[in-house]
Structure 1
Amino acid sequence: MPKLLQDPQKAGKPTLVLYDLRDDNRRTRVMNACKDYGLARWQYSAYHGRLTGAARRELETRLEKAMGSSPGLIAILQMEQWQLDNATLISQEAEGD
Structure 2
Amino acid sequence: MLLIYDIPDDRVRHRVSERCKDYGLSRIQYSAFAGDLDRNRREELMLRLKKTLGKKEGVIRLQPVCSRDLTLAKEIAVEGA
TM-score by length of 1: 0.75
Runs of 4 or more, structure 1, over 4 Å off, are none
Is residue 54 of structure 1 aligned with residue 21 of structure 2? no
Taking CA–CA contacts closer than 8 Å with sequence separation of 6 or more, which of the two structures ends up with the larger relative contact order? 2
Is residue 82 of structure 1 aligned with residue 32 of structure 2? no
Q: Percent identity?
A: 40
The structure with the larger Rg is 1
Unpaired runs of at least 5, structure 2? none
TM-score by length of 2: 0.88
Higher strand share: 1
Q: In the alignment, what sits opposite 2:77? A: 92
Unpaired runs of at least 5, structure 1? 1-14
RMSD over equivalenced CA pairs, Å: 1.4
